[in-house]
Amino acid sequence: NHEHFEALKAARTGWPMVDACVVMLRETGWLNFRMRAMLVSVAAYPLWLHWRPVGEWLATQFLDYEPGIHWSQLQMQSGTTGINTTRVYNPIKQAMDHDPTGEFVRTWLPAMRKVPDTYLFEPWNMPQALQEQLGIRVGFEIPLPIVDLAIATKEAKSRLYGRRQQAEVRIAKQAVLEKHGSRKTMHRTRAKTAPEKAQLGFDF
């Protein structure tokens, strides 16, 4: 969906934590690991974007871009490997857990500085009268969410899990596991040797 992708890149998804992360990334070239994972998760699941264009865009933003790490993490976080646990990040919950006072969001999204704490995580719920009083408008200075998060996430999970249950996908998953390594822990027995004598001096 081209519109969804453009909204993500423009920091106009309507989810403050996501949009603040995009602005910070654009300005500094860096995000911590959790927020990088959240961006990919939001792009892949509720926005249902293909992982390659998202990965190419993010690669141009990260100052520490390293292909070997970037692309493997991107595929894992977007659920395309078929062998990793699917991680679907809720951007509202992430904001509540990791930015409870709104310091981060308000730093990078100036319009959010006027939003009362009550509506910090879901500003679209502000009454119209309050918006007029504060001089900010949801849908203008503060974008509306471009999709219904709960519905879009549920649909994405249903598609993904349905696909993973198909016989050919399960066979392919097993082939990948067999080719690229076992999940079993390898225990190597180390040969026992006599205790080494403490070195008390140097031999010349």
Strand partners, 77: none
pLDDT range class, residue 197, cuts 50, 70, 90: very low
Amino acid residing at 44:
A
* 8 Å CB contact between 48 and 156: yes
∠ CA 8-68-42, rounded to 5°: 20
pLDDT tens per residue across span 81-93: 666 567 789 999 9
Question: How many angstroms separate the CA atoms of 110 and 11, rounded?
Answer: 12
DSSP state of 47: S
Q: What is the pLDDT of residues 41-54, one digit of tens each?
A: 999 999 999 999 99
- pTM (global) more than 0.75: yes
179 three-class SS: helix
- Per the document, the length of the chain is 204
**DSSP per-residue codes, 88-130:** ---HHHHHHHH-TT-HHHHHH-GGGGGS-GGGSS-GGGS-HHH
Instruction: Walk me through the domains of the chain, giving residue ranges and CATH numbers.
Output: 2-134 (1.10.579.10)
Q: Given this model, what pLDDT does residue 143 score?
A: 97
133-168: pLDDT as tens digits: 999 999 999 999 999 999 999 998 888 876 666 556
Q: Is residue 9 packed enough to be buried (19+ CB in 10 Å), middle (13-18) or exposed (0-12)?
A: middle
